[in-house]
Amino acid sequence: MKLLSSSNSLAFVHSLRIALDGEGIETYCTDADTALSSIAGPMTGSAARIYVLHEEDWARAVEIMRELSGPAKAQTAEVSGRAALPVWFWIAASAVLVAFLVAALSN
């Protein structure tokens, strides 16, 4: 038994489990049906985990997971043709906007 995925996204875990079952790959899933794995998961560290039971199914299970995961963020940014602005830019822009609004409203 090998750990294939650990995720706080209950939708992803169920989708992956259904896809694996459709391919005849036996899995074991922990915490998939608890409310905490999707609502409080990021805060509590609780995550649903999917294990592949048989070693011979491992390579196909990884392929299926990659298909469901979609493209990586770096690939998406390259396709769109523009780079994402850094977080510090948005913080600075927000601070300037707040200062401008305070000055405008205090007059």
Rounded distance between C-alpha atoms, residue 107 and residue 96, angstroms: 17
Residue 42, both tokens = 């990021």
Question: Quick count: other Cβ atoms within 10 Å of Cβ 93?
Answer: 11
**pLDDT tens across the length of the chain (107 residues):** 898 988 877 788 888 999 999 999 999 988 655 544 445 545 555 678 889 999 999 999 999 998 888 765 444 444 455 567 788 888 999 999 999 999 999 87
Full-model pTM: 0.56
The amino acid sitting at 35 is A
